[in-house]
C-alpha cells in the first residue's frame, strides 16, 4: 500500500535525514516507526503526504508514484494525526471534526452527520461534546477529536506522528487501547511514529527500528524483541526485552500440553488407575461439550470411591488461545499454579506450563537466534511440569 524505494532526504545544509530507505507497508497493516529523536522518522512520514519531498528514490501509494499525484488530492487519501492536535480554537468540536468533509464540498447537514458518527466512533458523545470548544476538552479528548477528524473523509491511509505523546501515561494507554479497537474495525493502513518502544511493540503489526537515517530492523514486535538484528537494536529495545516479548506473543494451540482428561461421571478408582498407567499425577475434568469442570489428582482418585465429579477441584484462573503469554503468566502467578488451563472459546484446549511458555516464546524467534538459547525440555505433562499446582 505504501512503498519506499531507495528513498533519501538530504537537506540543503547537508544533513542526511533519511538514507536509501526501502520498505513496504501492506494494506491494513499498522507499522510503527520507532527510534531516538532525530533519526528520520518524521521525515519518512512526511514524505508520504508530500509535506517533504525526497531528494532521491520514490514513494508509491497503492502502486502509484506519489510524485505524480497532486498534493491536495494525495492528502485526501491520507488522514494525518499529530501530537499538537491542531484543532481550530474558535470552532466547535463538531465543526472541527467536519472540517475535511466541508472542504470536500459535502452538504452541511451531511458533513455534520458524518462528524457526529465519527465522534461516536472515537468514544465522544456528540450530544455532550459536539457543541463544546477545544479548550473545554481534556488533552486525551482533544486527541480523540484529532483521530476523528483524520478519519472524516474515510481515507485508506493514516499517518500518525506521536499522536499520544503529550498525554499522561494512564490516558496514553487508554488511547492506545481505543485506537487498537478502532483499527481492528476499520483496518486502515497506518504509519505510526513514536520514540517509545513500549508503544511501538504494543501497537505495531510490524515495527521499523530506526538508527540514524536508516532502518536497522523491520519485523514483527516478537521477532524484534526476540532476535534483535544488531547490537544497536538490542540496546534500543532494552534489557527487559524478554519480558516485553511475553506481551506480544499470543498463545497458539500448538503451544499447549494435552493432559489426561476425564469425565465427571467416570468412576473414581478406575480413573485413578488410568492416570497411574499414564504416569500422570493429575487430570483435567471436562464435560461432554469440552467445558472445563476442574482438575483431580491421581492419589485422591485411587484412594476413593464414587465418581470423578465428587473429587473435582475448581480452577480459578484460565487463559484463552490468542491471548498473550503475559496474561497467561499473570493468571498462573495469581493462582500460584504450575499450569493454567487454556480455553478456545467455551472448550478446553490444553494447558500452559512454564516450560511450554518458554517454548512458545522461542517460537516467535528465528531459528538461528533460538538455537543459541538454552532449551528446556517441553514434554507434555511431565512430573516436573505437573508438580507446581498446589493441592491444598
- Of 103, 380, 159, 135, nearest to 257 by C-alpha is 380
Q: Does residue 81 bind ligand ADP (CB under 6 A)?
A: no
Q: Please state the length of the chain.
A: 392
Q: Among 7, 21, 40, 143, which residue interacts with ligand ADP (rule: CB under 6 A)?
A: 40
How far CA 332 is from CA of 137, 149, 179, in Å, comes to: 41, 42, 29
Shortest gap between Cβ of 166 and ligand ADP (angstroms)? 15
Scanning 10-18, 55-63, 238-246, 259-267 for contacts with ligand ADP by CB under 6 A, the matching segment is: 10-18
How many angstroms separate the most distant Cα atoms in the chain?
87
Quick one: 15 or 254, whose CB is closer to ligand ADP? 15
Shortest gap between Cβ of 69 and ligand ADP (angstroms)? 22
**Dist CA 331 CA 357 (whole Å):** 13
Q: Among 8, 25, 31, 41, which residue interacts with ligand ADP (rule: CB under 6 A)?
A: 41
Cβ atoms of residues 172 and 143 within 8 Å: no
Q: Does residue 379 bind ligand ADP (CB under 6 A)?
A: no
Quick one: 44 or 189, whose CB is closer to ligand ADP? 44
Residue bearing cell 468514544: 123
Cα four-point dihedral sign 20, 21, 23, 25: negative
Q: Does residue 50 bind ligand ADP (CB under 6 A)?
A: no
**Dist CA 4 CA 192 (whole Å):** 15
Q: Is 373 helix (H, G, I), strand (E, B) or coil?
A: coil
Scanning 35-43, 85-93, 313-321, 343-351 for contacts with ligand ADP by CB under 6 A, the matching segment is: 35-43
**Dist CA 111 CA 148 (whole Å):** 13
Shortest gap between Cβ of 4 and ligand ADP (angstroms)? 14
Q: Does residue 194 bind ligand ADP (CB under 6 A)?
A: no
Q: Does residue 239 bind ligand ADP (CB under 6 A)?
A: no
**Dist CA 217 CA 230 (whole Å):** 8
Q: Which of residues 12-31 bind ligand ADP (CB under 6 A)?
A: 13, 15, 17
Quick one: 78 or 148, whose CB is closer to ligand ADP? 78
Quick one: 82 or 124, whose CB is closer to ligand ADP? 82
Binding site for ligand ADP (CB under 6 A): 11, 13, 15, 17, 35, 37-43
Amino acid at each position: 500500500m505504501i512503498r519506499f524505494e531507495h528513498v533519501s532526504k538530504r537537506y540543503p545544509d547537508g544533513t542526511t535525514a533519511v538514507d536509501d530507505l526501502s520498505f513496504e507497508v501492506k494494506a491494513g497493516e499498522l507499522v510503527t516507526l520507532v527510534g531516538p529523536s532525530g533519526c528520520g522518522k518524521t521525515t519518512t512520514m512526511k514524505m508520504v503526504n508530500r509535506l517533504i519531498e525526497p531528494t532521491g528514490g520514490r514513494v508509491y501509494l497503492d502502486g502509484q508514484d506519489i510524485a505524480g499525484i497532486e498534493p491536495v488530492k494525495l492528502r485526501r487519501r491520507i488522514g494525518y494525526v499529530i501530537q499538537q492536535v491542531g484543532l481550530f480554537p474558535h470552532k466547535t468540536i463538531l465543526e472541527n471534526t467536519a472540517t475535511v468533509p466541508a472542504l470536500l464540498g459535502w452538504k452541511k447537514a451531511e458533513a455534520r452527520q458524518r462528524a457526529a458518527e465519527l465522534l461516536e466512533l472515537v468514544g465522544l458523545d456528540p450530544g455532550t461534546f459536539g457543541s463544546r470548544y477545544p479548550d473545554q476538552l481534556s488533552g486525551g479528548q482533544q486527541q480523540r477529536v484529532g483521530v476523528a477528524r483524520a478519519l472524516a473523509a474515510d481515507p485508506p491511509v493514516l499517518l500518525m506522528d506521536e499522536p499520544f505523546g503529550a498525554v499522561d501515561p494512564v490516558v496514553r494507554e487508554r488511547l492506545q487501547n481505543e485506537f487498537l479497537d478502532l483499527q481492528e474495525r476499520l483496518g486502515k493502513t497506518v504509519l505510526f511514529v513514536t520514540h517509545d518502544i513500549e508503544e511501538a511493540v504494543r501497537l505495531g503489526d510490524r515495527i521499523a527500528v530506526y538508527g540514524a537515517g536508516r532502518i536497522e530492523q523491520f519485523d514483527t514486535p516478537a521477532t524484534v524483541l526476540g532476535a534483535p538484528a544488531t547490537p544497536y537494536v538490542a540496546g534500543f529495545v532494552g534489557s527487559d526485552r524478554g519480558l516485553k516479548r511475553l506481551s506480544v506473543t499470543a498463545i497458539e494451540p500448538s503451544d499447549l500440553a494435552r493432559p489426561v482428561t476425564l469425565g465427571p461421571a467416570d468412576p473414581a478408582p478406575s480413573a485413578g488407575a488410568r492416570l497411574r498407567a499414564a504416569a500422570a499425577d493429575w487430570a483435567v475434568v471436562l464435560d461432554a461439550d469440552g467445558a472445563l469442570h476442574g482438575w483431580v489428582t491421581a492419589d485422591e482418585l485411587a484412594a476413593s470411591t464414587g465418581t470423578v465429579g465428587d473429587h473435582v477441584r475448581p480452577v480459578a484462573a484460565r487463559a484463552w488461545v490468542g491471548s498473550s503469554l503475559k496474561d497467561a503468566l499473570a493468571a498462573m502467578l495469581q493462582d500460584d499454579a504450575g499450569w493454567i488451563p487454556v480455553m478456545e472459546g467455551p472448550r478446553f484446549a490444553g494447558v500452559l506450563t512454564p516450560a511450554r511458555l518458554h517454548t512458545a516464546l522461542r517460537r516467535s524467534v528465528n531459528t538461528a537466534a533460538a538455537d543459541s538459547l538454552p532449551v528446556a525440555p517441553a514434554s507434555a505433562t511431565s512430573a516436573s511440569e505437573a508438580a507446581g499446582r498446589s493441592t491444598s
